[in-house]
C-alpha cells in the first residue's frame, strides 16, 4: 500500500512541476530530460515538461482501458519498484507483472508516437 501511494504521489509531483514550469514565462535550469521508459528524449526544459505531461495523459488513457497495467507502470516507473516488488505490492504473480509491464510499455510507446504525428 505504501509503494502504491508513494508512486502515485511521485507521478503527481512530476506532473504538477511540469505544469508549473510550462506556465512560467522564464527559462528553467534543465537542459535535458529523458523518460527512459519510453525512450523519449527532450532537448530543452519545455520539451521535457511536455514529455512528462504527454506520459501522464497516455497513462491516464491507459488506466481507462486497463487499470492494472496503469498501476504496474506507476509502481515500476514512478515508484521505482522491481518486478518482484510490484508483484508483491499488487498481490500478482511475477509472470503477470512481467506481461502487464511489457504490454503497457508497448501501448504507451504507441500512444506517445501517435501524439507526435498529430499536427
- Over residues 25-83, the pLDDT tens digits come to 445 444 444 445 444 444 445 566 778 888 889 999 999 999 999 999 999 988 889 99
Q: How many domains does the chain have?
A: 1
User: Looking at residue 25, what is its pLDDT?
Assistant: 46
CA distance readout (Å), 47 to 5, 44, 53, 82:
27, 5, 10, 28
Range(s) of the domain holding residue 73: 2-116
pTM of the model: 0.66
CATH of the domain at 108: 1.10.10.10
Task: Give the cell for residue 112.
Answer: 506517445
In the chain, alpha helices (H): 2-23, 45-65, 67-73, 83-90, 94-116
Amino acid at each position: 500500500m505504501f509503494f502504491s501511494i508513494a508512486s502515485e504521489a511521485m507521478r503527481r509531483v512530476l506532473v504538477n512541476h511540469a505544469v508549473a514550469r510550462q506556465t512560467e514565462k522564464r527559462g528553467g535550469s534543465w537542459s535535458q530530460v529523458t523518460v527512459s521508459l519510453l525512450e523519449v528524449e527532450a532537448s530543452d526544459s519545455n520539451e521535457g515538461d511536455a514529455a512528462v505531461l504527454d506520459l501522464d495523459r497516455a497513462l491516464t488513457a491507459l488506466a481507462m482501458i486497463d487499470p492494472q497495467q496503469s498501476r504496474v507502470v506507476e509502481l515500476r516507473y514512478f515508484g521505482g519498484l522491481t518486478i518482484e516488488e510490484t508483484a508483491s505490492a499488487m498481490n500478482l504473480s511475477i509472470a503477470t507483472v512481467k506481461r502487464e509491464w511489457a504490454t503497457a510499455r508497448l501501448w504507451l510507446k504507441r500512444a506517445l508516437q501517435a501524439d507526435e504525428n498529430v499536427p
